[in-house]
């Protein structure tokens, strides 16, 4: 997939917990922002989702924490698409401390393409499926 980050930001003091590191709710929030940038690269843009009546729903999320992030740290998330199915995709985000390069956390998601009116899963449009197929990368070892 593209090597550009799907999220870049900073850890603010108000995002830290009583132990002094970024609280888990903010890790998840930053991964969520990366989701939407990844989706846009596949053609699941905000305008596509609005005009088509489609949406994306997370049905599985597994977060692994490796290193703490502190107030002032610069954060970068890079993402890889590892599986595309008829109605779902599986992808991995890797969050790094941009200064040190250390992996702070990773998150694997399964997302389902939804028909918002019917409130049920639906197949990806061929153009979305083709874009996703071009971006497939092998899973982490």
pLDDT digits (tens, 9 = 90+) for 51-95: 999 999 999 999 999 999 999 999 999 999 999 999 999 999 999
Report the chain's mean pLDDT, rounded to a whole number: 94
At 3 the pLDDT is: 59
Of the pLDDT bands very low, low, confident and very high (cuts 50, 70, 90), residue 1 is: very low
For residues 23 and 13, the answer to whether their CB atoms sit within 8 Å is no
CA distance 59 to 68: 26
Residue scoring higher pLDDT (108 or 2):
108
Indicate whether 139 pLDDT > 80. no
Indicate whether 141 pLDDT > 50. no
At 4 the pLDDT is: 86
Of the pLDDT bands very low, low, confident and very high (cuts 50, 70, 90), residue 35 is: very high
**DSSP symbol at 136:** B
- If one looks up domain 7-135 in CATH, what number appears? 3.10.129.10
Name the pTM for this structure: 0.91
């Amino acid at each position: 997939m593209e090597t550009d980050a799907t999220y870049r930001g900073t850890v603010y003091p108000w995002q830290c917990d009583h132990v002094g590191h970024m609280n888990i709710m903010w890790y998840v929030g930053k991964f969520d922002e990366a989701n939407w940038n990844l989706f846009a690269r596949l053609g699941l843009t905000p305008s596509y989702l609005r005009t088509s009546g489609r949406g994306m729903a997370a049905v599985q999320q597994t977060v692994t924490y490796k290193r703490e992030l502190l107030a002032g740290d610069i954060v970068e998330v890079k993402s890889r698409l590892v599986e595309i199915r008829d109605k779902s995709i599986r992808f991995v985000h890797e969050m790094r401390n941009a200064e040190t390069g250390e992996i702070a956390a990773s998150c694997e998601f399964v997302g389902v393409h939804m028909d918002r009116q019917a409130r049920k899963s639906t197949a990806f449009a061929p153009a979305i499926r083709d874009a996703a197929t071009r971006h497939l990368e092998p899973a982490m070892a």
